[in-house]
Structure 1
Amino acid sequence: MKVLLKPVLALAIMLAPAASFAQTPAPVDLRILAINDFHGYLRPAPGGIIITDPEDSTKKITVEAGGAEHMATLVSQLREGHKNSIFVAAGDLIGASPFLSAMFHDEPTIEALSMMGLNISAVGNHEFDEGKDELLRIQNGGCHPVDQCQGPHPFTGAKFRYLAASTFEKSSGKTVFPAYEIREFDGIPVAFIGLTLKGTPGLVSPVGIAGLEFRDEAETVNALIPELKARGVEAIVVLIHEGGLPTGDYNDCPGISGPIVDIVRKFDKAVDVVVSGHTHRAYVCEIDGRLVTSGDKYGTLVTAIDLKLDPVTRDIVSASAGNNIVRTATLAKDAQQTALLESYDRLAAPIANRPAGSVTATLSRVPNAAGESPLGDIIADAQLAATSAQAKGGAVIAFTNPGGVRADVTRKEEGAVTYADLFASQPFRNQLVTLTLTGKQIKEMLEAQWRDPKRPRILQVSKGFSYAWDGSKGDGERIIAERMTLNGQPVDPAALYRVTVNHFLFVGGDGFTVLTEGTAPLTGVYDVDALHTYFAANSPIAPTAADRIVRIN
């Protein structure tokens, strides 16, 4: 897609006399390569990317794609022949990562992206999964404060610069990371502004972002425009960890909805190009006269954005973009990336390959119409099993958040499942917490699943507990009280129940603040270790019927 950003200027150039044409300096070309939501997928993610069949537009096909080894090769190829280029990202490079990256607190991912020449990235919500201080360590280097130095060599931090214009320290009023970075290309300055989505506090542990404020994205950008113009900057690119929901193929945008649309429309007209993310979708759009892109997820795509900069006005006069698939079948592996991954593999393999058990069929994380998934059920059952016999009051119910269930447990040859397979589905290493709630508080917690009605977060529940909800009702009235049962008996609003959740939920994550009112908390094992123990004791494991949650209307 090509967007003509300055039509008045273009018309003036076309109508200029020939003599003036000859004196007009040629535009400066700039290629921006962009990714988003890599999430530590150093090796290709299962499932690749689904696209429209080029030979039959009525069909969809799956293309195997991704992985740092193949991406590095594509990035190198896309840079060839371009004197001016820069490699940027729109956040969530780390967090919710597969075992190889997560075991080392995502240090391998930071090294891999630094090695392939990433220059700048916005901070996404998942960059805060382990808190502000850990993200600062990721930027600056050093050993992990708890697990110390685990990797094959010292971790020196990211060689790229994180930007977070809208993320402020409440105490100082200053941003945690720089708001923007200015790069010059043939003497023309281009500003890159990085933004974390305003909704981050509802997506990460409140403990990890204590003392931080996440301000409005558009207001933040617009407030920076006078400062940038005072520094002689006219060309402005926004890297934002927020996105949209398109209807077209990976290089199309026949229709797009979602937060990015309103945000872009609110941006000052000085903003020329927007690189987005967060929604794990692929699109190349024109929104309010600006080029807006997104590159799917897990490293399946690299977006190539081509700009023309006017040497006189120092502004962007045209922009076009295309998403390029990181095809594992045709792209060679980059030797440096392979060596890096192998160095971490040697340390991780003994743990990753440890047998966990087996499955009779794939355990899917995809929810049904009521919001329940077979894998969600199994994870909740594992957490109940891990905490039901605690000496100070064992749990009778377990709940887990759907956002913490990150990947299917796929049935492979003979159904064998490894620790790494389980880790992929539970990558956050959340400790389990068992606390006391009243029946009334349990209902309040379930009602909070619709804190954002457009994006309900339906908790996965353990066996023995069931309930029904009515989609036609309003806030506070969706849960049918008489349909809440435990082992066939109605849940008593006044009775006390021991309930297990992960630490993220315990501290009010995803807006489940009623859990912070629970009493007698008792901390248990990590969620992935509870799942591993459950598999070892109960394999082979079959998918559940997913009938614990009932939707009416």
Structure 2
Amino acid sequence: MKKNLVLIGAALALSSCSLISRPADPVTVTVMGLNDFHGNLEASNFSGVMIPDPADPTKQIRLKAGGIETIGGYLDQERANNPNLVFVGGGDLIGASPVTSSLLRDEPTTLALSRLGMQFSALGNHEFDQGLKELLRMQNGGCDSNDTAKACKFENPYPGAGFKWLGANVVDKTTQKPVFAPYGVQEIGGAKIGFIGADLKATPTIVNPSGITTLDFLDEASSINRYVPELRKMKVDAIIVLIHQGGVAKDGFAAPACGSLTGPIVDIVNKLDPAISAVISGHTHQGYSCVVKGIPVIQGDFYGHLLQRLDVTVDKANHKVLSVSAANVVMDPRTLPKNAAMTALLTRAQTLTNAVKGTPVGTLAQASISRTNNAAGESALGDVIADSQLAATRANGAVIAFMNPGGIRADLTASAAGNTATFGDLFTVQPFGNTMVVMDLTGAQIKALLEQQFDNPEAGSSRILQVSKGFAYSYDSTAAKGSRVEAASIKLNGETLDPARTYRVTMNAFLSTGGDNFLAFKDGTNVLQLPNLPDVDALDAYIKANPGLTGGAQDRITRIK
């Protein structure tokens, strides 16, 4: 008996020794994050910083920020300051991209980010724009694309991404196993940093469902937490979440440790395991650096205007985080160096696409037509696009056209002399390559469709469809669910819609399958697919047919209150 007691005592003594911390062995790792890049290889207007107009110093214009050359130059500079730097992504690195990248199937973008040393990125909803098979090709390489006219034209064969997309909550419907790696570990400077990736669970409602039929998108927080124990067993020194979901903060991108963050990301972070050290977020195209439940949560605007910076000091000996500082850094081409390899890559992409990009289409009445919505949710450019789609499908019997506002990616700005819009200008507005669809809906179904604008969990608020000329209605946003649109106000060419009558309507392929939760389209009949009529071609034809085009009058939708 005495012998047993001695053994137990010895075991307790050893256990107590194991709880004593070793002398600290600190190292600082710099984590740079890029979210919602959308293939913007070139700098673009950043609303967060205004500068004097070179043509008139008394006026202010937006800073042109970002661009792969400047991002690369900044990373070079910071690696020289701290070689312990990890470059990661917050999703939507590709998809909805300008001509320079998208006409080459976004291969220049994945190759640029790979050559800049990106290690991991969260999956974003736009990574799935062309379906799972194409995304796997983007990850793994090859030329077996669903668009062989664009694939492998930049580099043949396309070698695949040098970084890993992560998706802890993106699983196969049958096996419920992740289709992409759920997490990755980067060893640098003797430290081990774990990264867990997740996409927003509402992805199926905002991408073409036909491309992701084999996938489930699970709850973000529980999926992330599932892999924390595995990483802790690997004795990582910090765990950082890369998630394509975000929120909104009123403090702005430069405010440190803001406390005003709202939106889906807050609910997710509040459910995360306390072992999470920081969260790099995306999707909402906001710039913020906030703290939720003691965890830094940061997002860097979009298009590469900002890089998210986390300086994480860890104790390698005891596998714990000592401190995390967070800040957004403006990618200002005026003050930052350029990366020569990225200049060469960008030049090649431009050379391969400039001929198409610069093709003149037609003239606008002014330099730009805005996509900014009025109080009712209608935009001048939304009117134009809906009109173009109706014009392109009148021969198919269409009398009404609907356009989702999320598919309008930029103002239509004429880049050539004399307010001449080029194909590149149009493509910047509508880069998805959505084809047109025509179907029959009854007046009652159209009423149900309009009500779905106000019951959209992904949007977090109303998502107002843009409508063609001749169609009009009024709504009361304070009325009860299902009764916000006044039935008597829904009119086509001044005549109230008959609930029982059938109307021929036009929309893009994304909407036709219930995209953006507009499920009423799925009930349409006599569906006609127009695979040879992309939305951008409809807009192209409309601008050519209407020289000196002006924006719509924004008088088709009326908000009562």
Contact 1:49 1:65 in 2 (8 A): no
SS state at 2:81 partner: coil
Is 1:269 the counterpart of 2:277? The answer is no
Tell me how far apart the structure 1 counterparts of residues 322 and 514 of structure 2 sit (CA, whole Å).
47
1:519 is matched with: 525
Q: Aligned in 2, Cα 1:309/1:510: closer, same or farther, shift over 3 Å?
A: same
Tell me how far apart the structure 1 counterparts of residues 461 and 131 of structure 2 sit (CA, whole Å).
24
Tell me how far apart the structure 2 counterparts of residues 369 and 311 of structure 1 sit (CA, whole Å).
54
2:438 is matched with: 434
1:145 is matched with: 146
Contact 2:166 2:198 in 1 (8 A): yes
Tell me how far apart the structure 1 counterparts of residues 403 and 50 of structure 2 sit (CA, whole Å).
35
How far the C-alpha of 1:81 sits from its partner, in A, is 2.3
How far the C-alpha of 1:150 sits from its partner, in A, is 4.9
CA deviations on 1:196-241 (whole Å, 9 max, x unpaired) are: 0111111111111112111111111222222222222352110011
How far the C-alpha of 1:52 sits from its partner, in A, is 8.2
Q: Which amino acid aligns with 1:202?
A: T
Is 1:543 the counterpart of 2:551? The answer is yes
Count of aligned pairs between the two proteins:
525
Contact 1:51 1:60 in 2 (8 A): no
Q: Aligned in 2, Cα 1:91/1:429: closer, same or farther, shift over 3 Å?
A: same
Is 1:248 the counterpart of 2:251? The answer is yes
1:56 is matched with: none
Tell me how far apart the structure 2 counterparts of residues 180 and 204 of structure 1 sit (CA, whole Å).
24
2:401 is matched with: 398
SS state at 2:485 partner: coil
1:109 is matched with: 109
SS state at 2:413 partner: coil
Q: Which amino acid aligns with 1:511?
A: N
Equivalent positions of 1:154-193 (< 5 A) are 154=156, 155-193=158-196
Tell me how far apart the structure 2 counterparts of residues 323 and 403 of structure 1 sit (CA, whole Å).
26
How far the C-alpha of 1:263 sits from its partner, in A, is 1.0
How far the C-alpha of 1:189 sits from its partner, in A, is 2.3
Contact 2:183 2:194 in 1 (8 A): yes
Q: Which amino acid aligns with 1:240?
A: I
Contact 1:48 1:63 in 2 (8 A): yes
Equivalent positions of 1:320-331 (< 5 A) are 320-331=325-336
Q: Where in structure 2 are there 5+ consecutive unaligned residues?
A: 1-19, 52-58
Is 1:233 the counterpart of 2:236? The answer is yes
Tell me how far apart the structure 1 counterparts of residues 74 and 480 of structure 2 sit (CA, whole Å).
49
1:195 is matched with: 198
How far the C-alpha of 1:312 sits from its partner, in A, is 2.6
CA deviations on 1:93-115 (whole Å, 9 max, x unpaired) are: 01111111111221111111112
Q: Which amino acid aligns with 1:481?
A: A
How far the C-alpha of 1:60 sits from its partner, in A, is 9.3
How far the C-alpha of 1:248 sits from its partner, in A, is 1.3
1:532 is matched with: 540
Contact 1:125 1:204 in 2 (8 A): yes
Q: Which amino acid aligns with 2:495?
A: Q
Q: After the TM superposition, which of the residue ranges 478-487 and 81-90 deviates more from structure 2?
A: 81-90
Q: Which amino acid aligns with 1:138?
A: M
2:448 is matched with: 444
Is 1:339 the counterpart of 2:344? The answer is yes
How far the C-alpha of 1:472 sits from its partner, in A, is 1.2
Q: Aligned in 2, Cα 1:509/1:250: closer, same or farther, shift over 3 Å?
A: same
How far the C-alpha of 1:431 sits from its partner, in A, is 0.5
How far the C-alpha of 1:442 sits from its partner, in A, is 0.7
Is 1:422 the counterpart of 2:426? The answer is yes
The TM-score with structure 2 as length reference comes to: 0.90
Contact 2:312 2:323 in 1 (8 A): yes
Is 1:509 the counterpart of 2:515? The answer is yes
Q: Aligned in 2, Cα 1:93/1:152: closer, same or farther, shift over 3 Å?
A: closer
Tell me how far apart the structure 2 counterparts of residues 277 and 125 of structure 1 sit (CA, whole Å).
11
Q: Which amino acid aligns with 2:282?
A: G
User: Which residue of 48, 51, 67 corresponds with 1:50?
Assistant: 48
SS state at 1:436 partner: strand
User: Which residue of 488, 494, 501 corresponds with 1:488?
Assistant: 494
Runs of 4+ deviating beyond 4 Å: none
How far the C-alpha of 1:147 sits from its partner, in A, is 2.1
Tell me how far apart the structure 1 counterparts of residues 163 and 201 of structure 2 sit (CA, whole Å).
23
Q: After the TM superposition, which of the residue ranges 260-269 and 415-424 deviates more from structure 2?
A: 260-269
How far the C-alpha of 1:80 sits from its partner, in A, is 1.6
SS state at 2:62 partner: strand
Tell me how far apart the structure 2 counterparts of residues 356 and 283 of structure 1 sit (CA, whole Å).
38
The TM-score with structure 1 as length reference comes to: 0.92
Equivalent positions of 1:308-323 (< 5 A) are 308-323=313-328
Is 1:24 the counterpart of 2:23? The answer is yes
CA deviations on 1:225-272 (whole Å, 9 max, x unpaired) are: 222222223521100111121111322124111111121111011111
Is 1:380 the counterpart of 2:378? The answer is no
How far the C-alpha of 1:373 sits from its partner, in A, is 0.3
* Identity in percent: 46
Q: Where in structure 1 are there 5+ consecutive unaligned residues?
A: 1-19, 54-58
How far the C-alpha of 1:411 sits from its partner, in A, is 4.2
